[in-house]
Copies of this chain bind each other. A is one copy, B any other.
């Protein structure tokens, strides 16, 4: 096995273990030594793969955000009216939650306020999952496809239903998986759409 390959798989292992730890204890609760121990190496060697903790967190955040946004854009590309597209997106989110709950939690539930650089970068283009939803709503309102209203508030409401359901599950207040509740969650989101 050439070294380049080994380095790539090691980086993948670092990302996976770091993601697990971040979701489990929160980003500030995880140290470089914790991640290194989970991977099975020394803290010092993490610096052969990442320039530091910030770069690692930024990499995870950016990858997760971009992947998620890509999935949502793909889900919204189905034929049909606004409600059909919204249903497709919400179903896809619930499905993603079932497939990789750890990534879901990191992307949607972990606060990333001190990451102003990475956040600002992701704010503009289509790599921001929330912006994808908001833009879809804006276009639907502008086209008269749905009733009038504040696009940002409606986006907040739809995102809020899904994210808060995930939060309740995280805290044990809901025991079913999001994918098991997809029908009900979709129904709730559709009820929010005006007219």
User: In the complex, A162 Cα to B163 Cα: how many Å?
Assistant: 12
Interface residues of A in 1-56 (CB under 8 A from B): 26, 28-29
User: In the complex, A118 Cα to B161 Cα: how many Å?
Assistant: 26
Interface residues of A in 142-195 (CB under 8 A from B): 149-150, 152-157, 159-165, 167-168, 173-174, 181, 184-185, 188, 191-192
Closest to A150 in B: B184
User: In the complex, A162 Cα to B155 Cα: how many Å?
Assistant: 12
- Asked if A192 and B181 sit within 8 Å, CB to CB, the answer is no
- Asked if B150 and A161 sit within 8 Å, CB to CB, the answer is no
- Asked if B113 and A181 sit within 8 Å, CB to CB, the answer is no
Of A26, A29, A152, A185, chain B has the most CB atoms within 10 Å of the CB of A152
- Asked if A156 and B174 sit within 8 Å, CB to CB, the answer is yes
**A24 shortest CB reach to chain B, Å:** 10
Q: How large is the interface on A (under 10, 10 to 19, 20 to 34, 35 or more residues)?
A: 20 to 34
For A152, give its contact among B152, B162, B174 (CB under 8 Å). B174
User: In the complex, A98 Cα to B109 Cα: how many Å?
Assistant: 25
- Asked if A156 and B161 sit within 8 Å, CB to CB, the answer is yes
Interface residues of A in 113-160 (CB under 8 A from B): 113-114, 130, 134, 149-150, 152-157, 159-160
- Asked if A164 and B160 sit within 8 Å, CB to CB, the answer is yes
User: In the complex, A162 Cα to B168 Cα: how many Å?
Assistant: 15
Return chain B residues, CB-CB under 8 Å to A164.
156-157, 159-160, 163-164
12 contacts between A and B (CB under 8 A): A28-B28, A28-B29, A150-B174, A153-B174, A153-B185, A156-B164, A157-B164, A157-B165, A159-B160, A160-B163, A160-B164, A164-B164
User: Which 6 residue pairs across A and B have the least CB separation, nearest first?
Assistant: A160-B164, A160-B160, A28-B28, A156-B164, A156-B168, A157-B161
